């Protein structure tokens, strides 16, 4: 796998988010449902999207994964139900683009981890994905683009 990795600094961005736990098996379905709820909230409240949706992997060490799903937004977010103000992470990161179906994201994460080891870079605790392609607008999964970010110490 040819992996184009860039080390850079990204800015944290205000976001409307849902923090929750799910299993790896239910991950895809639960992310889609949470993204739909957040998008609906933003539209109902006259908010403006400041970028594509993202998922932060807070803790994937157990049977249930603690994740954050969100959309960066312009303007304030008022908590309503499970939707709360949050942020898309920022800081010094290693980043690469995954092109293809979500089911193959693990392969790109593994390749990124190998690249980081080869460069002797020390990773932080935060990993996240930004979904650059809307599957509703592009039905061909082989063309989906997902930016992967791994924080660096």
Q: What CATH number is associated with residue 105? A: 3.20.80.10
Q: Is residue 1 part of a domain?
A: no
Residue 120 pLDDT > 70: yes
Contacts of 69 (CB under 8 A, 6+ apart): 17, 18, 20, 31, 34, 35, 38, 53, 54, 55
Q: Is residue 68 part of a domain?
A: yes
pLDDT tens for 72-95 read: 999 889 999 999 999 999 999 999
Q: Is residue 41 part of a domain?
A: yes
Q: Is residue 97 part of a domain?
A: yes
Q: Is residue 96 part of a domain?
A: yes
Q: Is residue 87 part of a domain?
A: yes
Mean pLDDT of all residues in 132-145: 95
d(CA 55, CA 31): 8
Q: Is residue 54 part of a domain?
A: yes
How many domains are contained in the chain?
A: 1
Strands (E), the chain: 6-10, 13-23, 48-49, 54-59, 64-74, 84-88, 91-99, 123-131, 145-152
Domain span at residue 121? 6-152
Give the pLDDT band (50/70/90) at residue 1: low
Between CA 26 and CA 36, with CA 125 as vertex, the angle to 5 degrees is 35
pTM of the shown model = 0.95
Mean pLDDT of all residues in 100-114: 95
Q: Is residue 105 part of a domain?
A: yes
C-alpha gyration radius of the chain: 15
d(CA 153, CA 146): 23
pLDDT tens for 17-26 read: 999 999 999 9
Between CA 40 and CA 46, with CA 43 as vertex, the angle to 5 degrees is 150
Per-residue pLDDT at 75: 87
């Amino acid at each position: 796998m040819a992996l184009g990795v860039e080390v850079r600094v990204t800015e944290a961005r205000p976001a409307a988010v849902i923090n929750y736990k799910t299993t790896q098996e239910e991950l895809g379905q639960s992310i889609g449902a949470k993204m739909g709820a957040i998008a609906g909230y933003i539209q109902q409240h006259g908010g403006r999207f400041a970028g594509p949706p993202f998922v932060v992997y807070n803790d994937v060490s157990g049977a249930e994964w603690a994740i954050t799903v969100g959309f960066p937004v312009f303007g304030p977010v008022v908590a309503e139900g499970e939707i709360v103000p949050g942020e898309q992470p920022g800081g010094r990161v290693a980043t690469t683009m995954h092109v293809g179906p979500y089911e193959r994201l693990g392969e790109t994460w593994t390749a990124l981890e190998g690249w980081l080891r080869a460069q002797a870079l020390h990773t932080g605790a935060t990993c996240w994905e930004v979904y650059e392609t809307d599957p509703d607008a592009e039905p061909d999964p082989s063309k989906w683009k997902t930016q992967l970010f791994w924080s660096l110490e």
